[in-house]
Amino acid sequence: MGSSSFLTGTNAFKGVLLAALLTLPLLGFSDYVLHIAISILLWAFVYTSWSIMGRFGLVSLGHGAFLGIGAYGTTMLWNHYGLTPWVGIPISIVLSGILGLLIGLPCFRFKITGHYFALVTLALTEVARLLIVALRDHTGGSLGVTPVGMVSPENPVSFYALQFASKSVWFYIVVGVWLVGLLIWRAVDRSMLRYAMEAISQEEDASASVGINVTRTKLTVTVISAAMTAFGGAVYGQYQQYINPETVSGIAISLQIVFAVIAGGMFVQLGPTVGAVITILLGEGLRLGFGNQFHGLDVTIYGLMLILFIIYMPRGVLGKAIDAFAARTAPPRVQPGE
Protein backbone atom coordinates (compact mmCIF):
# COMPACT_ATOMS: atom_id res chain seq x y z
CA MET A 1 0.00 0.00 0.00
CA GLY A 2 2.97 2.24 -0.68
CA SER A 3 1.01 4.58 -2.92
CA SER A 4 -1.36 5.51 -0.11
CA SER A 5 1.43 6.91 2.01
CA PHE A 6 0.51 10.55 1.49
CA LEU A 7 -2.68 10.07 3.47
CA THR A 8 -1.79 7.32 5.87
CA GLY A 9 1.82 8.48 5.82
CA THR A 10 3.98 8.88 8.87
CA ASN A 11 2.83 8.07 12.35
CA ALA A 12 3.47 11.65 13.43
CA PHE A 13 1.12 12.98 10.75
CA LYS A 14 -1.53 10.49 11.72
CA GLY A 15 -1.06 11.40 15.40
CA VAL A 16 -1.64 15.09 14.68
CA LEU A 17 -4.80 14.33 12.69
CA LEU A 18 -6.13 12.11 15.44
CA ALA A 19 -5.33 14.70 18.13
CA ALA A 20 -7.17 17.35 16.09
CA LEU A 21 -10.14 14.99 15.81
CA LEU A 22 -10.15 14.34 19.55
CA THR A 23 -10.34 18.07 20.36
CA LEU A 24 -13.58 18.42 18.36
CA PRO A 25 -15.96 18.11 21.38
CA LEU A 26 -13.89 20.73 23.24
CA LEU A 27 -14.38 23.41 20.59
CA GLY A 28 -17.93 24.29 21.58
CA PHE A 29 -19.71 22.93 18.55
CA SER A 30 -23.43 22.33 18.82
CA ASP A 31 -24.83 18.90 19.55
CA TYR A 32 -25.99 18.81 15.93
CA VAL A 33 -22.43 19.10 14.63
CA LEU A 34 -21.28 16.44 17.08
CA HIS A 35 -24.14 14.22 15.98
CA ILE A 36 -23.00 14.53 12.35
CA ALA A 37 -19.41 13.72 13.35
CA ILE A 38 -20.56 10.70 15.40
CA SER A 39 -22.73 9.48 12.52
CA ILE A 40 -19.87 9.82 10.06
CA LEU A 41 -17.45 7.86 12.26
CA LEU A 42 -19.98 5.19 13.16
CA TRP A 43 -21.00 4.60 9.55
CA ALA A 44 -17.33 4.78 8.57
CA PHE A 45 -16.81 1.79 10.86
CA VAL A 46 -19.72 -0.10 9.25
CA TYR A 47 -18.47 0.74 5.74
CA THR A 48 -14.95 -0.34 6.69
CA SER A 49 -16.44 -3.62 7.93
CA TRP A 50 -18.14 -4.15 4.57
CA SER A 51 -14.96 -3.39 2.65
CA ILE A 52 -13.08 -6.13 4.54
CA MET A 53 -14.83 -8.57 2.19
CA GLY A 54 -16.05 -6.20 -0.54
CA ARG A 55 -12.54 -5.24 -1.60
CA PHE A 56 -11.93 -8.85 -2.62
CA GLY A 57 -14.93 -8.99 -4.94
CA LEU A 58 -17.26 -10.52 -2.35
CA VAL A 59 -19.92 -7.89 -2.98
CA SER A 60 -22.52 -8.38 -0.27
CA LEU A 61 -25.84 -6.60 -0.66
CA GLY A 62 -26.90 -8.16 2.60
CA HIS A 63 -24.99 -6.35 5.29
CA GLY A 64 -28.25 -4.87 6.53
CA ALA A 65 -28.93 -8.32 7.98
CA PHE A 66 -25.73 -8.27 10.06
CA LEU A 67 -26.37 -4.69 11.09
CA GLY A 68 -29.91 -5.67 12.14
CA ILE A 69 -28.71 -8.63 14.21
CA GLY A 70 -26.30 -6.35 16.05
CA ALA A 71 -28.85 -3.63 16.73
CA TYR A 72 -31.92 -5.80 17.40
CA GLY A 73 -30.01 -8.60 19.15
CA THR A 74 -28.51 -6.22 21.69
CA THR A 75 -31.73 -4.25 22.19
CA MET A 76 -33.97 -7.33 22.47
CA LEU A 77 -31.68 -9.01 25.00
CA TRP A 78 -31.71 -5.81 27.04
CA ASN A 79 -35.44 -5.07 26.77
CA HIS A 80 -36.72 -8.63 27.24
CA TYR A 81 -34.10 -10.27 29.42
CA GLY A 82 -32.42 -7.30 31.08
CA LEU A 83 -29.10 -8.51 29.72
CA THR A 84 -26.53 -5.73 29.74
CA PRO A 85 -25.19 -4.71 26.31
CA TRP A 86 -21.75 -5.66 27.61
CA VAL A 87 -22.95 -9.24 27.23
CA GLY A 88 -25.63 -8.63 24.61
CA ILE A 89 -23.21 -7.11 22.11
CA PRO A 90 -20.79 -10.09 22.14
CA ILE A 91 -23.76 -12.47 21.79
CA SER A 92 -25.08 -10.46 18.82
CA ILE A 93 -21.63 -10.43 17.25
CA VAL A 94 -21.35 -14.20 17.58
CA LEU A 95 -24.87 -14.67 16.14
CA SER A 96 -23.97 -12.45 13.22
CA GLY A 97 -20.78 -14.43 12.63
CA ILE A 98 -22.81 -17.65 12.65
CA LEU A 99 -25.24 -16.16 10.12
CA GLY A 100 -22.23 -15.19 7.99
CA LEU A 101 -21.09 -18.82 8.12
CA LEU A 102 -24.55 -20.16 7.30
CA ILE A 103 -24.98 -17.92 4.28
CA GLY A 104 -21.34 -18.14 3.17
CA LEU A 105 -20.82 -21.90 3.43
CA PRO A 106 -23.31 -22.97 0.74
CA CYS A 107 -22.41 -19.98 -1.46
CA PHE A 108 -18.69 -20.66 -1.37
CA ARG A 109 -19.00 -24.45 -1.46
CA PHE A 110 -21.12 -24.26 -4.61
CA LYS A 111 -19.03 -21.47 -6.11
CA ILE A 112 -21.78 -18.86 -6.06
CA THR A 113 -19.78 -15.74 -6.85
CA GLY A 114 -20.17 -12.30 -8.40
CA HIS A 115 -23.72 -11.26 -9.25
CA TYR A 116 -25.19 -14.46 -7.84
CA PHE A 117 -23.53 -13.95 -4.49
CA ALA A 118 -24.84 -10.37 -4.47
CA LEU A 119 -28.36 -11.65 -5.17
CA VAL A 120 -28.25 -14.27 -2.42
CA THR A 121 -27.13 -11.67 0.10
CA LEU A 122 -29.74 -9.20 -1.21
CA ALA A 123 -32.39 -11.78 -0.35
CA LEU A 124 -30.81 -12.25 3.08
CA THR A 125 -31.14 -8.60 4.05
CA GLU A 126 -34.77 -8.47 2.95
CA VAL A 127 -35.53 -11.65 4.90
CA ALA A 128 -33.99 -10.01 7.96
CA ARG A 129 -36.15 -6.90 7.51
CA LEU A 130 -39.33 -8.90 6.98
CA LEU A 131 -38.54 -11.05 10.00
CA ILE A 132 -38.13 -7.99 12.21
CA VAL A 133 -41.46 -6.64 10.96
CA ALA A 134 -43.22 -10.00 11.34
CA LEU A 135 -42.03 -10.47 14.92
CA ARG A 136 -43.67 -7.17 15.85
CA ASP A 137 -44.76 -8.39 19.28
CA HIS A 138 -41.12 -8.66 20.24
CA THR A 139 -39.39 -6.19 17.94
CA GLY A 140 -41.93 -3.41 17.68
CA GLY A 141 -42.40 -4.19 13.99
CA SER A 142 -42.01 -1.41 11.46
CA LEU A 143 -42.53 1.23 14.13
CA GLY A 144 -39.16 0.34 15.59
CA VAL A 145 -38.09 -0.02 19.18
CA THR A 146 -36.34 1.95 21.88
CA PRO A 147 -33.96 0.30 24.36
CA VAL A 148 -35.36 0.66 27.87
CA GLY A 149 -33.81 3.92 29.04
CA MET A 150 -31.62 4.10 32.14
CA VAL A 151 -30.43 7.69 31.82
CA SER A 152 -32.15 10.91 32.72
CA PRO A 153 -31.06 14.55 33.19
CA GLU A 154 -30.22 13.71 36.82
CA ASN A 155 -28.44 10.50 35.95
CA PRO A 156 -26.80 11.06 32.56
CA VAL A 157 -24.49 8.03 32.58
CA SER A 158 -25.28 4.32 32.82
CA PHE A 159 -22.31 2.07 32.18
CA TYR A 160 -24.41 -0.99 32.86
CA ALA A 161 -26.93 -0.09 30.15
CA LEU A 162 -24.22 1.42 27.92
CA GLN A 163 -26.30 4.59 27.70
CA PHE A 164 -24.87 8.08 27.82
CA ALA A 165 -26.73 11.35 27.53
CA SER A 166 -23.66 13.30 26.49
CA LYS A 167 -22.79 13.50 22.80
CA SER A 168 -19.16 14.09 23.76
CA VAL A 169 -18.96 10.70 25.48
CA TRP A 170 -20.45 9.05 22.42
CA PHE A 171 -18.02 10.89 20.20
CA TYR A 172 -15.03 9.41 22.03
CA ILE A 173 -16.58 5.94 22.08
CA VAL A 174 -17.23 6.09 18.37
CA VAL A 175 -13.73 7.38 17.60
CA GLY A 176 -12.47 4.28 19.44
CA VAL A 177 -14.79 2.01 17.48
CA TRP A 178 -13.73 3.62 14.21
CA LEU A 179 -10.03 3.22 15.06
CA VAL A 180 -10.59 -0.46 15.86
CA GLY A 181 -12.17 -0.84 12.43
CA LEU A 182 -9.19 0.79 10.74
CA LEU A 183 -6.78 -1.41 12.69
CA ILE A 184 -8.65 -4.59 11.72
CA TRP A 185 -8.65 -3.40 8.09
CA ARG A 186 -4.90 -2.89 8.27
CA ALA A 187 -4.29 -6.21 10.01
CA VAL A 188 -6.15 -8.01 7.22
CA ASP A 189 -4.35 -5.90 4.62
CA ARG A 190 -0.97 -6.98 5.95
CA SER A 191 -1.86 -10.62 6.53
CA MET A 192 -1.42 -13.66 4.31
CA LEU A 193 -5.22 -13.69 4.21
CA ARG A 194 -5.09 -10.71 1.86
CA TYR A 195 -2.75 -12.50 -0.55
CA ALA A 196 -4.98 -15.55 -0.47
CA MET A 197 -8.11 -13.48 -1.09
CA GLU A 198 -6.48 -11.49 -3.92
CA ALA A 199 -5.51 -14.81 -5.50
CA ILE A 200 -9.00 -16.27 -5.03
CA SER A 201 -10.70 -13.16 -6.41
CA GLN A 202 -8.73 -13.63 -9.62
CA GLU A 203 -8.35 -17.37 -10.07
CA GLU A 204 -10.37 -19.57 -7.77
CA ASP A 205 -9.30 -22.91 -9.30
CA ALA A 206 -5.64 -21.97 -9.48
CA SER A 207 -5.79 -20.80 -5.85
CA ALA A 208 -7.12 -24.18 -4.76
CA SER A 209 -4.42 -25.94 -6.76
CA VAL A 210 -1.67 -24.15 -4.79
CA GLY A 211 -3.17 -25.29 -1.50
CA ILE A 212 -5.43 -22.37 -0.60
CA ASN A 213 -8.61 -23.62 1.04
CA VAL A 214 -10.92 -21.34 -0.94
CA THR A 215 -14.09 -21.93 1.09
CA ARG A 216 -12.38 -21.50 4.45
CA THR A 217 -10.54 -18.35 3.37
CA LYS A 218 -13.71 -16.70 2.04
CA LEU A 219 -15.61 -17.70 5.17
CA THR A 220 -12.92 -16.13 7.33
CA VAL A 221 -13.27 -12.68 5.76
CA THR A 222 -17.07 -13.03 5.65
CA VAL A 223 -17.26 -13.82 9.36
CA ILE A 224 -14.87 -10.98 10.26
CA SER A 225 -16.96 -8.58 8.18
CA ALA A 226 -20.31 -9.85 9.51
CA ALA A 227 -19.14 -9.71 13.13
CA MET A 228 -17.77 -6.18 12.76
CA THR A 229 -20.97 -5.00 11.07
CA ALA A 230 -23.07 -6.40 13.92
CA PHE A 231 -20.89 -4.51 16.37
CA GLY A 232 -21.54 -1.33 14.35
CA GLY A 233 -25.28 -2.03 14.43
CA ALA A 234 -25.23 -2.55 18.20
CA VAL A 235 -23.34 0.69 18.83
CA TYR A 236 -25.74 2.49 16.48
CA GLY A 237 -28.72 1.25 18.50
CA GLN A 238 -27.11 2.26 21.78
CA TYR A 239 -26.25 5.70 20.47
CA GLN A 240 -29.53 6.48 18.70
CA GLN A 241 -31.67 4.86 21.42
CA TYR A 242 -34.07 4.01 18.64
CA ILE A 243 -33.92 1.45 15.85
CA ASN A 244 -36.36 0.44 13.16
CA PRO A 245 -36.21 -2.16 10.38
CA GLU A 246 -35.58 0.47 7.70
CA THR A 247 -32.57 2.07 9.35
CA VAL A 248 -30.71 -1.09 10.41
CA SER A 249 -31.76 -3.72 7.85
CA GLY A 250 -33.34 -4.13 4.46
CA ILE A 251 -32.25 -3.31 0.96
CA ALA A 252 -31.96 0.48 1.26
CA ILE A 253 -29.36 0.44 4.03
CA SER A 254 -27.47 -2.43 2.39
CA LEU A 255 -27.26 -0.49 -0.86
CA GLN A 256 -26.18 2.63 0.98
CA ILE A 257 -23.27 0.71 2.49
CA VAL A 258 -22.15 -0.49 -0.94
CA PHE A 259 -22.55 2.93 -2.50
CA ALA A 260 -20.62 4.68 0.25
CA VAL A 261 -17.68 2.28 0.02
CA ILE A 262 -17.52 2.46 -3.77
CA ALA A 263 -17.75 6.27 -3.64
CA GLY A 264 -15.03 6.57 -1.01
CA GLY A 265 -12.76 3.83 -2.37
CA MET A 266 -12.70 0.26 -1.20
CA PHE A 267 -9.05 -0.54 -1.78
CA VAL A 268 -7.61 2.02 0.64
CA GLN A 269 -7.86 2.07 4.41
CA LEU A 270 -9.61 5.44 4.69
CA GLY A 271 -11.76 4.99 1.58
CA PRO A 272 -14.88 3.84 3.47
CA THR A 273 -14.43 6.77 5.87
CA VAL A 274 -14.39 9.19 2.96
CA GLY A 275 -17.51 7.37 1.72
CA ALA A 276 -19.18 8.03 5.07
CA VAL A 277 -18.33 11.74 4.86
CA ILE A 278 -19.86 11.88 1.37
CA THR A 279 -23.07 9.98 2.17
CA ILE A 280 -23.81 11.57 5.53
CA LEU A 281 -23.16 15.11 4.30
CA LEU A 282 -25.13 14.45 1.14
CA GLY A 283 -28.03 13.02 3.14
CA GLU A 284 -28.02 15.92 5.60
CA GLY A 285 -27.59 18.50 2.83
CA LEU A 286 -30.58 17.17 0.93
CA ARG A 287 -32.64 16.96 4.09
CA LEU A 288 -31.84 20.57 5.06
CA GLY A 289 -32.19 21.85 1.49
CA PHE A 290 -35.43 20.18 0.55
CA GLY A 291 -36.89 19.10 3.87
CA ASN A 292 -39.34 16.27 3.39
CA GLN A 293 -40.62 17.83 0.16
CA PHE A 294 -39.01 15.21 -2.03
CA HIS A 295 -39.20 12.03 -0.06
CA GLY A 296 -36.68 9.51 -1.37
CA LEU A 297 -34.59 12.12 -3.18
CA ASP A 298 -31.39 11.09 -1.38
CA VAL A 299 -31.84 7.45 -2.37
CA THR A 300 -32.45 8.51 -5.99
CA ILE A 301 -29.29 10.58 -6.00
CA TYR A 302 -27.35 7.70 -4.38
CA GLY A 303 -28.49 5.45 -7.20
CA LEU A 304 -27.48 7.90 -9.92
CA MET A 305 -24.14 8.61 -8.28
CA LEU A 306 -23.49 4.90 -7.82
CA ILE A 307 -23.84 4.38 -11.57
CA LEU A 308 -21.55 7.33 -12.30
CA PHE A 309 -18.93 6.20 -9.78
CA ILE A 310 -18.85 2.63 -11.03
CA ILE A 311 -18.35 3.85 -14.59
CA TYR A 312 -16.00 6.79 -14.07
CA MET A 313 -14.36 6.29 -10.70
CA PRO A 314 -14.34 2.59 -9.78
CA ARG A 315 -11.62 3.14 -7.20
CA GLY A 316 -13.58 5.86 -5.44
CA VAL A 317 -12.76 9.43 -4.48
CA LEU A 318 -9.84 8.58 -2.21
CA GLY A 319 -8.51 5.88 -4.54
CA LYS A 320 -8.62 8.36 -7.42
CA ALA A 321 -6.93 11.07 -5.37
CA ILE A 322 -4.14 8.70 -4.35
CA ASP A 323 -3.69 7.57 -7.95
CA ALA A 324 -3.45 11.17 -9.11
CA PHE A 325 -0.90 11.91 -6.41
CA ALA A 326 1.08 8.75 -7.14
CA ALA A 327 1.06 9.47 -10.87
CA ARG A 328 2.89 12.74 -10.22
CA THR A 329 5.53 11.14 -8.03
CA ALA A 330 5.98 7.64 -9.43
CA PRO A 331 5.49 5.72 -12.67
CA PRO A 332 1.96 4.33 -13.07
CA ARG A 333 1.15 0.85 -11.84
CA VAL A 334 -1.86 -1.32 -12.33
CA GLN A 335 -4.20 -1.24 -9.36
CA PRO A 336 -6.98 -3.64 -8.44
CA GLY A 337 -10.35 -2.50 -9.69
CA GLU A 338 -9.04 -0.75 -12.80
Partner 1 sequence: MGSMLQVRDLTKRFGGFTAVDRIGFDLDEGEILGLIGPNGSGKSTTFNLIAGALAPTGGSIVLDGREIGGKSPTEVCHMGIARTYQIPRPFRKLTVLENVAVAAYYGANSLISRSEAWRRAEEALALTRLPNDPSVRVDGLGAAGLKKLELARALATQPRLLLADESLGGLDEQEMDQAADMLSDIRREKGITIIWVEHIMGVLMRVVDRCVVLDHGEVIASGLPHDVAHDPKVVEVYLGSDAETIQTQVAGRRASAETGTEAAVC
Chain positions contacting partner 1, by CB under 8 A: 192, 195-196, 198-199, 201-203, 205-214, 333-334, 336
Q: Is 337 left (phi over 0), alpha (psi -120 to 50) or beta?
A: left
Min CB(226)–partner 1 separation in Å: 23
Which residue, 287 or 333, has its beta carbon nearer to partner 1? 333
CA distance 288 to 300: 16
User: Which residue, 221 or 234, is less far from partner 1 as judged by CB?
Assistant: 221
Beta bridge pairs of residue 163: 158
Whole-number minimum distance, CB 95 to partner 1, in Å? Answer: 29
| Residues in Cβ contact with 125 at an 8 Å cutoff, skipping those fewer than 6 apart | 61, 62, 63, 64, 65, 68, 249, 250, 251, 253, 254
- Least distance between partner 1 and beta carbon 221 (Å): 15
Exposed e or buried b per residue across 194-231, where buried means at least 16 C-beta atoms within 10 angstroms of its C-beta:
eebbebbbeebeebeeeebebbebbbbbbbbbbbbbbb
Smallest distance, partner 1 to C-beta of residue 336, A:
5
Q: Which is nearer to partner 1, 20 or 192 (CB)?
A: 192
- Taking the least distance from each CB to partner 1, the nearer of 162 and 188 is 188
Residue number with CB closer to partner 1 (79 or 220): 220
Minimum CB distance to partner 1 smaller for 141 or for 336: 336
Quote the crossing angle between the two packed helices 214-240 and 31-54, to the nearest 10°. 170
- Measured N-to-C along each axis, helices 63-81 and 31-54 cross at an angle, to the nearest 10 degrees, of 120
**Nearest distance in Å: CB 332, partner 1:** 11
Min dist. Cβ of residue 302 to partner 1 (A): 28
Nearest-5° Cα angle at 41, 78 to 95: 35
User: For residue 147, is it left (φ>0), alpha (ψ between -120 and 50) or beta?
Assistant: beta
